[in-house]
């Protein structure tokens, strides 16, 4: 008999609620599974768009990778189903929504809030890398907040198993480390770079290498042209952590377990995460 997990879902199993957001490939809705009354998020993707963008293999990889992941800071993908024209992802519902909207609202986060987020993301990445998975697309748009305000990494559409590395370009350029911009081989150190970019953006409200032109952003990334503005005030300990993560040579980036022992994290992160 089918377990709950690989039941063949159909759209009529769900009551569809308010739209939660719209992405490049489709919309996300609040939904309730009728039998269990379980609240989920349902992402609706159009097959035509997936075919036209030739990303079906990425979607299959995302579902495969996500089916083995269980971590409090990783958004669950419970399953998927499809009909004639659409593919549906059954996702854990993140009740406090998208982190990037919260960052836009607050302009930048406090050092305690930032350290708490960075520590929980580091623990999630340690778990992921332990399973030979790299996310490769860590940025505010892919972070959601659970009902207790805890961070959830979402959208593994660009993640890969580290043995079959791809050189495809991911979303925004701001988060790409030098080795991905220079299209050389890359490994799980790419996520450490992106976490450093995220830490900077949480504290200053902007990513460190932002520029008007893509070509200028490329140049600043490969040069690691890291500058810390005088405002808002950020402690030397925070700058020290960021400087140890945004290192061109990926092998010299601060390992994630060392990040969790860094004085700035120890003194500022809320242990509950
Ligand atoms: C906004 N919002 N507010 C609350 C809330 N709660 C849960 N979820 C939300 N939003 C959805 C977050 C996502 C999680 N996993 C995703 N996965 C994906 O979108 N995969 C995907 C898509 C298109 C193409 C490909 C492909 F083929 F390229 F791989 C892969 S999107 C919520």
Ligand 1 neighbourhood includes 42 CB (under 6 angstroms): no
**Nearest CA owner, ligand 1 atom 26:** 59
* pLDDT recorded at residue 171: 56
The answer to whether 181 and 172 have CB atoms below 8 angstroms apart is no
Q: Which of 20, 99, 154, 170 to mutate to test the pocket of ligand 1 (most atoms within 8 A of CB)?
A: 154
Percent of the chain with pLDDT over 90: 72
Q: Which of 17, 23, 69, 135 to mutate to test the pocket of ligand 1 (most atoms within 8 A of CB)?
A: 23
Whole-number mean pLDDT of the chain? 90
pLDDT tens track for 177-218: 888 777 655 678 999 999 999 999 999 999 999 999 999 999
Work out the pLDDT band at 3, boundaries 50, 70, 90. Answer: low
Pair of tokens at residue 239: 């700058």
pLDDT tens track for 110-132: 999 999 999 999 999 999 989 88
State the ipTM, two decimals: 0.98
* E strand segments, 120-268: 133-134, 143-145, 151-153, 160-161
Work out the pLDDT band at 147, boundaries 50, 70, 90. Answer: very high
pLDDT above 50: residue 164: no
pLDDT above 60: residue 16: yes
Sort residue 267 into left (φ over 0), alpha (ψ -120 to 50) or beta.
alpha
pLDDT above 80: residue 230: yes
Sort residue 2 into left (φ over 0), alpha (ψ -120 to 50) or beta.
beta
Ligand 1 neighbourhood includes 55 CB (under 6 angstroms): yes
With a CB cutoff of 8 Å and minimum separation 6, the contacts of 161 are 61, 65, 132, 133
- pLDDT (mean) for 237-247: 98
pLDDT above 60: residue 169: no
- pLDDT (mean) for 11-17: 98
Rg of the chain over CA atoms, in angstroms? 19
Least confident of 10-19, 64-73, 180-189: 180-189
């Amino acid at each position: 008999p089918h377990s709950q997990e690989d039941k063949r879902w159909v759209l009529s199993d769900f009551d569809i609620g308010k739209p939660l957001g719209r992405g490049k490939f489709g919309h996300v809705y609040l939904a309730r599974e009728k039998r269990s009354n379980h609240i989920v998020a349902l992402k609706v993707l159009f097959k035509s768009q997936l075919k036209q963008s030739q990303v079906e293999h990425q979607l299959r990889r995302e579902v495969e990778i996500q089916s083995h992941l269980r971590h409090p800071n990783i958004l669950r993908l419970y399953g998927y189903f499809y009909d004639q024209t659409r593919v549906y992802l059954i996702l854990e519902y993140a009740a406090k929504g998208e982190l990037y909207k919260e960052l836009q609202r607050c302009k930048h986060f406090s050092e305690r809030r930032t350290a708490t987020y960075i520590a929980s993301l580091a623990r999630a990445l340690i778990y992921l890398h332990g399973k030979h998975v790299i996310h490769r697309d860590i940025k505010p748009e892919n972070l959601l907040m659970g009902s207790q305000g805890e961070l959830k990494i979402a959208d593994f559409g660009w993640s890969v198993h580290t043995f079959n590395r791809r050189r495809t370009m991911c979303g925004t350029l701001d988060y790409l480390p030098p080795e991905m911009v220079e299209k050389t081989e890359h490994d799980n150190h790419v996520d450490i770079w992106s976490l450093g970019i995220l830490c900077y953006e949480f504290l200053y409200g902007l990513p460190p290498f932002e520029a008007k032109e893509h070509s200028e952003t490329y140049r600043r990334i490969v040069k690691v042209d890291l500058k810390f503005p005088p405002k808002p005030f950020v402690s030397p300990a925070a700058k020290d952590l960021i400087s140890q993560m945004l290192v061109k040579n990926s092998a010299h980036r601060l390992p994630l377990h060392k990040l969790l022992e860094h004085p700035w994290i120890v003194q500022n992160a809320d242990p509950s995460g």
